[in-house]
Structure 1
Amino acid sequence: MNNNKDLSIKIVDPSAVNLAYYQEIKQYSDYFWNLSNLGEPALDHKINMFLTKEARLLDQQCFDEWLTLFLEDGCYWIPGSMPAASPASEATYEFHDIRRLKDRIVRLQTGFAYSQIPVSKTNRILGAPEVWAVPGSSEGFLVRTSFIVFESRDGKSQVLSGWYGYVIIKDNDELKIKMKQINLNDCLSPQGNNSFFL
């Protein structure tokens, strides 16, 4: 029988948490909550088409192709506060790096993700995106766009709304998502079974 003599054993190694990564993500998020510091936004046709493609891939459930739109150190984040606090210091509705996104997609593709039986049908409507350069970067863009997501599942429908905050990086002449932040208008209210990608 183990009498737990050594109570100093660590269950989790804190060095496995990359705090610099979370600080970078929080810094990007802070830009979206202080847009007046960024100057006048621009409209960018290529970024508009990129976001339209991303929305279509999600509506069509082309998750493997959707994942290729992300950088390897990209993230998908649904904050539970407004303005968003750091995902390292506050519980979020979702915070996924690429590894966790891959896990989630594989689970959905098995057909045994019970929260998605039957599968949600979605349709996204995006507002015109506003685009700013990431301060100090020639290859990065901060993009804000309003959204409405219509979701139907198991004979019931709901409408979700809010705004997306993207950090988009030009990588070898391709646009890639470094961060997708989903800011729900009702993030302070209890959420239902939002088990589909927003």
Structure 2
Amino acid sequence: MLQDITQFIYREARLLDDRRFDDWLGLFDDDGLYIVPLVDQARPGRQAAIVNDDRMAREERVYHLVNHWFPAQQPPSRTLHFVSNVVADERGGLWSVSSSQLIHEIRGGDWTQVGLGEKNAIVARVDYLLRRADGGFRIHEKRVHLLDRAGWQGNLAFIY
């Protein structure tokens, strides 16, 4: 089972790296959440978060990334996710999964635009609640715990 879960997490990372955002949306339960909290034990809707997206907010985020011109995404970010230390435990019909992720992000460009051409490394522990469905998994909740979440965050206009 751990191998199936790990392959699912790898696939999600690849979809993000390939900018296949509509396919990424399809990995979530209808009532699934995508959260980047400011504190480890943040309760959705009760504490501020960098990202706290339900289905509609995820769809809006993807729509804007794909269809709107944003200075923070011109040119668009390219990412490469490295996933390791995947641990999974079944709890009441859901799988609690934790992984370590290193996400490299860069926007092409040169010295004439501040921040372009600079490689950024984002380090996070990513926790999932996964539900088995249709022979695979669906994301019920994805929580990205940024290692440096208390510090200054640069360009956040991409999906972790």
Question: What's the TM-score, normalizing by structure 1?
Answer: 0.74
Residue number in structure 2 paired with 1:124:
81
State the Cα distance separating 1:186 from its structure 2 match.
0.7
Residue number in structure 1 paired with 2:125:
163
Stretches of 4+ aligned residues off by more than 6 angstroms: none
RMSD of the TM alignment (CA)?
Answer: 1.2
Residue number in structure 2 paired with 1:54:
12
Q: Matched residues in 1 for 2:134 and 2:103: separation?
A: 31
Residue number in structure 2 paired with 1:179:
141
Unaligned runs of 5+ in 2: 108-115
Question: What is the number of residues matched between the two proteins?
Answer: 152
Residue number in structure 2 paired with 1:10:
none
| 1:103 has 2:65 as partner | no
State the Cα distance separating 1:111 from its structure 2 match.
4.0
Residue number in structure 2 paired with 1:194:
156
1:141 aligned to which of 77, 84, 95? 95
Q: Matched residues in 2 for 1:150 and 1:109: separation?
A: 20
Q: Matched residues in 2 for 1:187 and 1:84: separation?
A: 13
The amino acid of 1:90's aligned partner reads Q
Higher helix share: 1
Residue number in structure 2 paired with 1:37:
none
Contact in 1 for aligned 2:65/2:158 (Cα 8 Å)? no
Contact in 2 for aligned 1:77/1:96 (Cα 8 Å)? yes
- Matched residue SS, 2:59: helix
State the Cα distance separating 1:124 from its structure 2 match.
0.4
The amino acid of 1:149's aligned partner reads I
Alignment deviations for residues 75-127 of structure 1 (CA, whole Å, 9 cap, x no partner): 1000011x232132211001001111111111111141332111001000001
Higher strand share: 2
The amino acid of 2:44's aligned partner reads P
Q: Matched residues in 2 for 1:174 and 1:64: separation?
A: 18
State the Cα distance separating 1:188 from its structure 2 match.
1.1
- Matched residue SS, 2:45: coil
Unaligned runs of 5+ in 1: 1-42
| 1:113 has 2:70 as partner | yes
Contact in 2 for aligned 1:48/1:128 (Cα 8 Å)? no
Contact in 2 for aligned 1:71/1:177 (Cα 8 Å)? yes
